[in-house]
Structure 1
Amino acid sequence: MSALALALSWLTVLPVRTGIPSARTAAGALRWAPLVGALLGGVAGLVVRGLTAVGVPGLVAGLLAVGVLALGTRGMHVDGLADTADGLGCFGPPERALAVMKDGGAGPFAAVTLLVVLGVQAGSLGALTSWHAVAGSAIAVATGRAGFCWVARRGVPAARPGGLGAMVAESQAAWVAPVWWAVLAAAGYAVAGWRGPAGVALAAVLVVALSAHTARRFGGMSGDVLGAAAELGAAAVLLVLATA
């Protein structure tokens, strides 16, 4: 249970106390991440359901739910998405891209990427107003977190020393993420028919492509890429679930 406690401490604002994690516990925390994502996604779905039930427009409810997700994760994954976008958007060697990512400012690539990805999440969440949407939202956010296990798979080193990325780099067997995606695809089918597995499949393709490109561009993986994978994966599933 120490790995689950660490996952909750890392990935949510819940006041879960943990000691200094070992490499084994950190690796286990990543494997628990989809379950933590399901919890967060369920909360977001309940926010949308509750707000639309009292007459709040769907898009507004979706935007507020995205805000709740950002608050619930300390904005960590959103920040990772922004930094990854700026790193990929700059010219120069990997060292230059990593320096841009570490700077902390949000450049034009970050701004556009956040607008598009979070806008897709908000609009899609706003279209999911039934009780099934709560489960769909949980599956979507869980799928985004399952991408952690692919980004941190063996064979992809840390792009730089220190930080979360270095702690979990190469900590996951290559089969862990596909197993999670298969489980979530089955759950998605039970909730939303063909849209469930189609959304999970789209998320998996995007995360695989993101991991391959960032590994080449940055010389490995980083904590920022984990955040980008989470947000892209969730957006992909939500978009497909909201498709009429």
Structure 2
Amino acid sequence: MAGALSGVPLAFSWLTVLPVRGPSDIDRTAGRRAIAAAPLTGIALGALAVAVLWGTTSIGLNPYLAGLLAVGALALGTRGMHVDGLCDTVDGLGCYGPPDRAREVMHSGGAGPFGVAALFIALGLQALSFGTFAAAHSPAHWAAVAVAVAAGRVAVVFACRRGIPASSSTGFGALVADSQPLWVGIVWSAPLIAASAFAADRWWLGPIVTTLTLLISIVCVRHCVRRFGGLNGDVLGFALELSVTITAVGLTLGI
């Protein structure tokens, strides 16, 4: 736990726009500690999304427009890195050829039709889900927003678990892949699943949704690792946004 806490500054420096300075020398040890602390950034960003939703609906804005603004605030709060990773990963999955060709498509700098469609669908679902929570305007549904955002960061911890190789010896993936013992993800999953019991009208729904979300994310990351020859930063963004989307949509059930 002490190691994870020492990674908090770098986690916020990497994963948010907050002016937090991490260590000057970043190696795999620093990367491991930062990823172990990543769910803390989810808590902060979840609070941001709730604040945007509550503030804008309190002054009379349509809740679904408020949901779109909350999703925009999250994109701005993370420099758009995760949505870019979602777009690039889906483009890579949609191309033919060996892993090096797929990685070339991912790093081309442009957005292909698969990526654009994935971006539209994922962000649209998040905005509509957040709007649904805002329209309900109850403590449980504010909690649902925070749980969905945090779930994406817990998924990142699992994506970097031991046994998952990097796709390259350089870059972000090389710093964080194969760095997290399985127990770190389980430790973060426990409070997430517990909190999710208060994030839906039926107490059992939240734990089912968050557990299934993390399992789906693990399976999808594993497929990406096989397709691209390892883990990279884009796949982490994909896992994060996928998990936020599935959790948010799942927690709307029964509203």
> TM-score surpassing 0.5?
yes
Aligned AA (2:10): L
**CA–CA separation in structure 2 for the residues paired with 1:174 and 1:92:** 32
**CA–CA separation in structure 1 for the residues paired with 2:142 and 2:14:** 23
Q: 1:201 aligns with which of 208, 211, 236?
A: 211
**CA–CA separation in structure 2 for the residues paired with 1:133 and 1:45:** 10
Does 2:245 align with 1:235? yes
Give yes or no for contact 2:96–2:102 (8 Å, CA) kept in 1. yes
Q: 1:23 aligns with which of 13, 20, 28?
A: 28
**CA–CA separation in structure 2 for the residues paired with 1:120 and 1:195:** 19
Quick check: 194-203 or 122-131, which moved more?
194-203
Q: 2:108 aligns with which of 103, 106, 117?
A: 103
Identity %: 48
Which residue is 1:136 aligned to?
144
Give yes or no for contact 1:7–1:29 (8 Å, CA) kept in 2. yes
Give yes or no for contact 1:42–1:134 (8 Å, CA) kept in 2. no
Give yes or no for contact 2:83–2:241 (8 Å, CA) kept in 1. yes
Give yes or no for contact 1:198–1:240 (8 Å, CA) kept in 2. no
Quick check: 72-81 or 38-47, which moved more?
38-47
Q: 2:198 aligns with which of 186, 190, 193?
A: 190
**CA–CA separation in structure 2 for the residues paired with 1:85 and 1:44:** 25
Give yes or no for contact 1:41–1:138 (8 Å, CA) kept in 2. yes
Q: 1:160 aligns with which of 168, 174, 177?
A: 168
**CA–CA separation in structure 2 for the residues paired with 1:4 and 1:216:** 30
Q: 1:170 aligns with which of 173, 178, 182?
A: 178
Aligned AA (1:222): N
Write out aligned runs for 1:58-69 (5 A). 58-69=63-74
Which residue is 1:145 aligned to?
153
Number of aligned residue pairs: give it: 244
Gapped regions of structure 2 (runs ≥ 5): none
Which residue is 1:6 aligned to?
10
TM-score of the superposed pair, with normalisation by structure 1: 0.96
Tell me the alpha carbon deviations over residues 96-144 of structure 1, each in whole angstroms, 9 at most, x when there is no partner.
0000001111000001101111111000000112243332212111111
**CA–CA separation in structure 1 for the residues paired with 2:145 and 2:33:** 24
For residue 174 of structure 1, report the CA deviation from its aligned partner. 2.1
**CA–CA separation in structure 2 for the residues paired with 1:191 and 1:122:** 17
**CA–CA separation in structure 2 for the residues paired with 1:156 and 1:2:** 23
Does 2:225 align with 1:221? no
Please state whether the residue corresponding to 1:175 is helix, strand or coil.
Answer: helix
Write out aligned runs for 1:36-51 (5 A). 36-51=41-56
Q: Which aligned segments of 4 or more residues in structure 1 are displaced greater than 4 angstroms?
A: none
For residue 156 of structure 1, report the CA deviation from its aligned partner. 1.3
**CA–CA separation in structure 2 for the residues paired with 1:225 and 1:102:** 12
Aligned AA (1:139): V
Tell me the alpha carbon deviations over residues 34-87 of structure 1, each in whole angstroms, 9 at most, x when there is no partner.
111111011111211221222211211111100000000000000000010000
Quick check: 124-133 or 208-217, which moved more?
124-133
Write out aligned runs for 1:46-85 (5 A). 46-85=51-90
For residue 199 of structure 1, report the CA deviation from its aligned partner. 2.1
For residue 190 of structure 1, report the CA deviation from its aligned partner. 3.0
Give yes or no for contact 1:44–1:134 (8 Å, CA) kept in 2. no
- Over the aligned positions, Cα root-mean-square deviation in angstroms equals 1.3
**CA–CA separation in structure 2 for the residues paired with 1:238 and 1:92:** 34
